[in-house]
Amino acid sequence: MSDFTLFLGKFLRQGTAIASLAPSSRWLSRATVSNIDWTRPNVVVELGAGTGPITRVLAERAAGRSRILVVERDPDFARILRDRHGDHPDVEVVEGDVRDLDAMLRDRGVAQVDHIVSGLPTPSFPKESQLDLFRVVRRVLKPEGSFNQITEMPLVYRGLYRRFFEEVRFVFEPRNFPPAGVYLCRRIKPAADRS
């Protein structure tokens, strides 16, 4: 079965838990990691990796210098990710729910991360889960780090990310099915969960 067929089937069955009709294109995947300076070593966490189009770009760019932790809840997607990237020395696939991100990082001795890349259906999360996610992001993301979130609803959720970050830049990518984009966010607000 192709990635597209698998993805579409899961979307039709699970709706907002998958939140996308198809895997991200190569162009959207590249735009999603464009905030990252690959000339230096980075610890990058990818959340909601699906079949791994962004993971592939991260694995290519890591080049033996960076560490990529990939979190995916769906067992079928996690198996595909392990099959494709399990042997890559810079990539670790973690099958689990982002709700347990804190523990996943702690178990791996990761106190701080340079960048977070998210394919999660963040706007569909209940408010409390959004707050929990950004509490962990605030704690682990380095001050100069970035949080990068794909979206298939261009610009609609800008307000959501503006609540959590001082700097939110939106990049539209028409070369995706459907046309999509990415929020490139920096400087998380200290008290975002009270705003």
Ligand X SMILES: C[S@@+](CC[C@H](N)C(=O)[O-])C[C@H]1O[C@@H](n2cnc3c(N)ncnc32)[C@H](O)[C@@H]1O
Residues that bind ligand X (CB under 6 A): 17-20, 23-24, 48-50, 53-54, 71-74, 77, 97-98, 119-121, 150
Q: How far is the CB of 113 from ligand X (least distance, A)?
A: 16
Residue whose CB is less far from ligand X, 64 or 75: 75
Q: How far is the CB of 179 from ligand X (least distance, A)?
A: 14
Q: How far is the CB of 146 from ligand X (least distance, A)?
A: 16
**26-30: which pairs have CB atoms within 8 A and are 24 or more residues apart?**
26/53, 26/57, 27/173, 27/175, 27/176, 28/53, 28/150, 28/173, 28/175, 28/176, 28/180, 28/181, 28/182, 29/53, 29/54, 29/56, 29/57, 30/57
Residue whose CB is less far from ligand X, 5 or 166: 5
Pair 70, 49: CB distance under 8 Å: yes
Residue whose CB is less far from ligand X, 102 or 187: 102
Q: How far is the CB of 189 from ligand X (least distance, A)?
A: 23
Give the phi and the psi of residue 148 in degrees, each rounded to 5.
Answer: -125, 120
Q: Where are the alpha helices (DSSP H) in 63-172?
A: 75-85, 101-107, 127-140, 158-164
Residue whose CB is less far from ligand X, 39 or 161: 161
